[in-house]
A = this chain, B = another copy of it.
Amino acid sequence: MIKAVVFDAYGTLYDVHSIVRKCEKIYPGKGYQISQVWRQKQLEYSWLRSLMDRYQDFWSLTGDALSYALDELNLQYSKGTIEDILNEYLYLDLYPEVVESLQAFRPWKLSILSNGSPKMLKELAANTNLDKHMDAIISVDSLKTYKPKANVYNLAVENLGVNKNEILFVSSNGWDVAGSKSFGFTVGWINRLNKPVERLGIEPNYIVSNLAELANKVKNK
Residues of A at the B interface (CB closer than 8 Å) are: 41, 44-45, 47-54, 56, 64-65, 67-68, 71-72, 148-150, 175, 178-179, 182, 195-196, 198-202
Contacts and interface: CB of A to CB of B under 8 A. Distances in A.
A48 B179 contact: yes
A155 to B, nearest CB: 15
Given A54-B182, A150-B53, A48 B195 contact: no
A10 to B, nearest CB: 17
A53 B148 CA distance: 10
Given A51-B179, A179-B51, A68 B198 contact: yes
Given A44-B175, A47-B47, A175-B44, A52 B148 contact: yes
A48 B178 contact: yes
Given A47-B48, A72-B195, A175-B44, A54 B149 contact: no
From A45, A47, A202, residue with most partner B Cβ within 10 Å:
A47
A45 to B, nearest CB: 6
Contacts of A41: 199
Contacts of A68: 196, 198-199
A17 B36 CA distance: 22
Contact of A52 (B48, B179, B195): B179
Nearest to A179: B52
Contact of A49 (B52, B195, B196, B200): B200
A201 B54 contact: yes
A77 to B, nearest CB: 12
A64 B203 CA distance: 14
Contacts of A50: 51
A65 to B, nearest CB: 7
Contacts of A202: 54
Nearest to A56: B201
A175 B67 contact: no
Contacts of A72: 195-196
B67 A199 contact: yes
